[in-house]
Structure 1
Amino acid sequence: MAGLTESTATVAGGHDEAATEMKSSSSSLEGSTDCSARMEAPKMHIGGEKEAVDAGTADADKQQEVHQESDQHQFQEKNGSPDNDTQKEEEPAGSGEVKMSKGKVALIMLALCTIVTTALPTIAREFNTSQADYAWVGSAYLLGAASSTPSWGKVSDIFGRKPVLLAANVVFLVGSLLCGVSINIKMLVASRVIQGIGSGGLLTLVNICVSDLFSMRTRSMYFGIIGMVWAISGIIGPVIGGLMTQYTTWRWCFYINLPIDGVAFLIIFFFLELHTPTTPLLAGLRAIDWLGSLAVIGGTVMFLIGLEYGGESYSWSSPTVICLIVFGIVAWGIFILIQWKVSRYPVMPLWLFTQRSTLAAYGIVLIHGAIYTSGSFFLPLYFQAVLGETPLKSGILLFPNVIAVSIVSAVTGIFIRKSGLCLPPIWFGTTVLVLGTGLYINLPSHRSLVKVILYQLVAGMGIGPNFQAPIIAIQSHIRPSDIATATASIAFCRNLASSISVVIGGVIIQNRLQDNILQIQHLLSPKTLEALQGVSAGASVHIIQALPPNEKQPVLDAYTKSFSTMWIFYTAFAAIGFLVSLLLQKKKLNKEHEVTKTGLDAQERARKERLQMEKEAKSSRNKAV
């Protein structure tokens, strides 16, 4: 989740490991997805596709240059003012074709992301770690990915997509190598942070590159394929990780990244053709929004560490947890102020959130990420804790969800490309998602494959459309010069929603579980009651399976009721997503492609245009008054 000799090449990129590594507190979570996929597969034009390569004479080059100037002149006449940052052009012939063989390399790359979860218990035993350290192996990755995501987009605006994508690839490779050679748990956790930072860049840059390469309509198809590959990898990864850990060593879960991602690096280096500015290093570094980046990174790290500590290392009412969460929120407030008043080239411009449609689309991204992640995280826990399945079988039981998500995601991309409409898939997805999460409320305390399969198929049909449709909705309402920062903001919102959602779901389960256990305490022996009190749902999986039959069923019923309460919350959350989707404004997607230029000159022109637009808008308001 590639025929490398065809006219387009697939490169592995990043997509949101935020999904299920958060709060991994026991071996019961082995089968859940580690990163829900951080590698995506953009299509790239190889030089052979371009007409300029076929035109081997200077006359042909000159004709192409004149044609481009004519296109640019027409664009300026149409819009009434010159725009030096973008250029409208027809996509090269064949650029929109789906080369399914390219998905092979991407599928392998995505699977590599998810293999860590099934290796976590083995890692914990080898390093003899505490439960808190065990959880940090997953959470450290999330911290690196979530906190770094907003900055990658703006850095690529300054230095160009290709060099920044290559840099992110190197960071990920270094992190993977350090993870593989780690000699203790602290080194592994630190290496996972580095790996997460690289993944944050890959996650962001791949979507940005797809947006740069294809028109609004065509890119939806590639986003659909990415969503399909994302879903499939979430199942393959844990299975591969389990087999690799069982028959070799957990270190190969990280080493295997090196040759595959190395190949991806070479493909990007030789075949990715995007506008790359000659930005001077020092000038580019000075242009980076360091204050904004530090504020958002600091705020995100403090907030997520507070969530990680809460209910685990410290109680939720402890000063440590409260201070971390409050200071994190304060840092975000400072970040907003910096973006508004200080930053020359902000990493997350506030004007992205000023339109009703874009704000609604960001809301859908948050809700979609939260519910998808929670399903990926808590369904395997339900399979293991309530149904008594092994981690491997719990991964296999997720196949219905994966199949539904994969098919619907791909079909959504094709629909958007053919129709030029992104709202119908969003409405369909948010509506069906309410039904799907509502069905989860009825999951029983006994094994019922019909319900497990049917409910996941429905929920997967609701999840699939909104991997890519909200991205298209946001991009269709903003200027091309804002695509990178908007795409990075989408990834950040999805990561943040994922982390918060899993914590909330875990708190709901834990609180309800303790209440439900107290209600059946008269049916349990003192030893069983003591073993279950204060233990997380994940950590008590093996305790449940060892109970005698007369005690086991009441405990399973208590767990089932706790999961049902959690799904009631997510159903209500999904309903809010449907209501938010009604705020989106209909817009026909354009077949023309606007090539976005990067570099300091382009950024400065975009900044001046934005200031001029704000000045004109203010003048219009004053005249109206």
Structure 2
Amino acid sequence: MGTIVPIQSAQNIELVPFDEVDSEPVKVRSRLRLTAIMCGLYLAMFIVALDQTIVATSIPTITHDLKSSSGYVWIGGAYLLSNAASGPIWAKLSDIFGRKPIFLAADALFFASSVFCAKAWSMKVLIIGRTFQGVACGGLIPLIMITISDLFSIRARSLYIGIMELVWVVAGGVGPVLGGLFAERLSWRWNFWINLPISGTTFILLFIYLDVHNPKTPVLDGLKAIDWFGSLSIIALVLMLLLGLEFGGATVPWNSPRVICLIVFGSLMSIAFIYSEKRLARYPLMPLKLFANRSNAASLLVTLWHSMIYIGAEYYLPLYFQSVKGSSPLTSGLLVMPITTTEAITGILAGVIIHSTGRYLEVIYIGVTCMTIGNGLYILLNPASTLAEIIIYQIIAGIGAGLLFQAPLIALQALVSQDETATATATFGFVRSLATALGVVLGGVIFQNSMDMHIPLLSSPPVNLPANITDLLTKGGAAANVMLSNTISDSVQKEAVRAAYSWSMKNMWIFYTVLSGLAVLSSVFIKKHYLRTDHVETRTGIKKREGT
């Protein structure tokens, strides 16, 4: 019997055997090597986060340049869909073939797809490029967290994940500003050219210095070990479900056969996925036993709600600034910095607190509370909102969102063995990616449907908005024409259009506030557990799973 260790703190301390896992002792790495590895990982995180936000403020310019109003949703939607669908597959490939080769493959794909996007000559080509960027980022995000988890104990990794979240939020804050600057002063294509030197540096650093276990799995054996049915079913689930939600009410009516079939068959694929993981897969993408623990399920639920909410604010606040306040792309990028800066500060603060004290439950409680209050305050935003109000609302929401980037992951990892940390982290990453896609899509659906409801008021007295303008605001066009109010000369009509945007976004903020309330409820079921300081590094490959 192995060493007896406590796995739960506070009054309920449960002693269980700490059995041997298929791991190897921690390598003693030089400061230079460790610094180079972490720089490579953080650069990868920076460029992924930058890529998610830099495009937002440039989308109106891109859709105008490529002459496609439908591109407003799909430039972000294609990225988020492919990102969500691919994450668990990349993580399982890294379990089979090793972290380093799979990480480098994802980085190389991101580099190539960035070139493809920068050279795009039509909206279709750009969307294809964004799809492959999403696939690449779907691998990079979980692999960064998995590699950090391989390198450090659960107590120590909280600090490094906190720094990772700091990098994420800083890049997310810089992204809208750079995107607006490129759109106004250079070209939107620089949103993608900027990826190349950073992505290239990441590849070189990790190729030279990353020295985690490499199983050297034969290609044929590795291909046989892949959960093919589970992979296909989860891709089908994500794509059909999100496409159905995306089309509904914006492109075609909710009761159209296309929408109904996509949502119904997408939902049914969840049954196929569960059956595959339980009955068919030899090495499942997501072992179902992970969800059997109530605390694990609650941690993943908090991640789901949090990710839908924080991406909604970062994605749609620039829309508010441009459509309601009449700000330029560059100014809207600057105006969103209070929330991103606050998220950065509280993200690293959460890492320091967990690293120093081992307490993460209190961080989660404070986070969900502030997030709920902040999103509730967004409901008050209107055309007359002052700059002070906008900043205060963002700071409160940013405190909540920043505290929740890593604490649920630590709560999840605390209950699994080091050998299962990669799978748990990949599941966490999948939930976050799926939630960000859902957050953007559902927020957009609520916004556009609300605009469609408001059109009759705009076209009738006393506003009497011309049909050629109201046509631009319907059928998914409202988000692509955010600068429309600036072109309207009649003051009554201009204020009416801005009020319509504000009212439609108010409905969206109500939706996000309800999700925040669900996060508060879910957090109650997360349990406090002991965070170990000892650590063994994971050995990847398939041989260990066969017991040979």
- The residue number in structure 1 matching 2:211 is 273
- The residue number in structure 2 matching 1:8 is none
Q: Is the 8 A contact 1:364 1:581 kept in 2?
A: yes
- Asked if 1:321 corresponds to 2:259, the answer is yes
**Which is further off, 521-530 or 485-494?**
521-530
- The residue number in structure 1 matching 2:222 is 284
* Cα 1:123–1:559 shift into 2, 3 Å: closer
1:278 shift after superposition: 2.2
Code of the residue aligned with 2:210 in structure 1: it is L
- Asked if 1:442 corresponds to 2:383, the answer is no
Q: Distance in 2 between matches of 1:292 and 1:107?
A: 27
1:87 shift after superposition: 4.5
1:560 shift after superposition: 2.7
- The residue number in structure 2 matching 1:580 is 522
Q: Is the 8 A contact 1:158 1:603 kept in 2?
A: no
Code of the residue aligned with 1:497 in structure 2: it is A
1:184 shift after superposition: 3.5
Q: Structure 2 residue aligned with 1:570, among 489, 507, 512?
A: 512
TM-score, normalised to structure 2, is 0.89
Code of the residue aligned with 2:281 in structure 1: it is S
1:356 shift after superposition: 0.5
Alignment of 1:509-524 (within 5 A): 509-516=447-454, 518=456, 521-524=460-463
- The residue number in structure 1 matching 2:22 is 85
- The residue number in structure 1 matching 2:138 is 200
Alignment of 1:111-510 (within 5 A): 111=50, 114-128=53-67, 130-133=68-71, 135-510=73-448
Q: Distance in 2 between matches of 1:95 and 1:465?
A: 30
Alignment of 1:588-607 (within 5 A): 588-605=530-547
Counterpart secondary structure, 2:448: helix
Q: Distance in 2 between matches of 1:189 and 1:553?
A: 34
1:148 shift after superposition: 0.8
Code of the residue aligned with 2:140 in structure 1: it is L
- Deviations for 1:191-248, whole angstroms, at most 9, x for unmatched residues? 2222221111111100100111111111111111111211121221232233334444
- The residue number in structure 1 matching 2:474 is 534
Q: Distance in 2 between matches of 1:317 and 1:433?
A: 34
1:255 shift after superposition: 2.9
Q: Distance in 1 between matches of 2:75 and 2:392?
A: 34
1:595 shift after superposition: 1.5
1:384 shift after superposition: 1.3
Counterpart secondary structure, 2:536: strand
Q: Is the 8 A contact 1:227 1:410 kept in 2?
A: yes
- Deviations for 1:151-183, whole angstroms, at most 9, x for unmatched residues? 111111111111111111111122122223334
Q: Is the 8 A contact 2:58 2:329 kept in 1?
A: no
* Cα 1:79–1:284 shift into 2, 3 Å: farther
Q: Distance in 1 between matches of 2:213 and 2:244?
A: 41
- The two structures, once aligned, show a CA RMSD in angstroms of 3.0
* Cα 1:194–1:560 shift into 2, 3 Å: closer
**Which is further off, 335-344 or 546-555?**
546-555
TM-score, normalised to structure 1, is 0.79
- Deviations for 1:222-281, whole angstroms, at most 9, x for unmatched residues? 111111211121221232233334444443332332232111111101111211112111
Code of the residue aligned with 1:542 in structure 2: it is M
Q: Is the 8 A contact 1:144 1:194 kept in 2?
A: yes
Q: Is the 8 A contact 1:84 1:602 kept in 2?
A: no
1:518 shift after superposition: 4.2
* Cα 1:472–1:279 shift into 2, 3 Å: same
1:403 shift after superposition: 1.5
Code of the residue aligned with 1:202 in structure 2: it is L
1:118 shift after superposition: 4.0
Q: Structure 1 residue aligned with 2:484, among 529, 536, 543?
A: 543
1:95 shift after superposition: 11
- The residue number in structure 2 matching 1:552 is 494
Percent identity between matched residues is 40
Q: Is the 8 A contact 2:77 2:441 kept in 1?
A: no
Code of the residue aligned with 1:386 in structure 2: it is V
Code of the residue aligned with 2:474 in structure 1: it is G
Q: Is the 8 A contact 2:60 2:482 kept in 1?
A: no
Q: Is the 8 A contact 1:303 1:328 kept in 2?
A: yes
1:538 shift after superposition: 1.9
Q: Is the 8 A contact 2:57 2:332 kept in 1?
A: no
Counterpart secondary structure, 1:523: coil
- Deviations for 1:427-475, whole angstroms, at most 9, x for unmatched residues? 1100111111111111232140110010100000000011000111111
- The residue number in structure 2 matching 1:54 is none
Q: Is the 8 A contact 1:91 1:593 kept in 2?
A: no
Q: Is the 8 A contact 2:106 2:136 kept in 1?
A: yes
Code of the residue aligned with 2:466 in structure 1: it is K
Counterpart secondary structure, 1:522: coil
Q: Distance in 2 between matches of 1:568 and 1:127?
A: 33
Residue correspondences, number: 533
Q: Is the 8 A contact 2:44 2:140 kept in 1?
A: no
* Cα 1:92–1:578 shift into 2, 3 Å: farther
Code of the residue aligned with 1:534 in structure 2: it is T
Counterpart secondary structure, 2:286: coil
Counterpart secondary structure, 1:402: helix
Task: Kindly indicate whether structure 1 or structure 2 has the higher relative contact order, using CA contacts under 8 Å at least 6 residues apart.
Answer: 2
Q: Distance in 1 between matches of 2:394 and 2:4?
A: 47
Q: Distance in 1 between matches of 2:533 and 2:32?
A: 13
- Asked if 1:525 corresponds to 2:459, the answer is no
Q: Is the 8 A contact 1:90 1:592 kept in 2?
A: no
Unaligned segments of structure 1, at least 5 residues: 1-71, 609-625
Counterpart secondary structure, 1:277: coil
Q: Distance in 1 between matches of 2:124 and 2:277?
A: 35
1:566 shift after superposition: 2.4
* Cα 1:495–1:107 shift into 2, 3 Å: closer
Q: Distance in 2 between matches of 1:107 and 1:156?
A: 17
- The residue number in structure 1 matching 2:9 is none
Q: Distance in 1 between matches of 2:248 and 2:454?
A: 22
Q: Is the 8 A contact 2:179 2:330 kept in 1?
A: no
Counterpart secondary structure, 2:543: helix
Q: Distance in 2 between matches of 1:260 and 1:75?
A: 45
Counterpart secondary structure, 2:483: helix
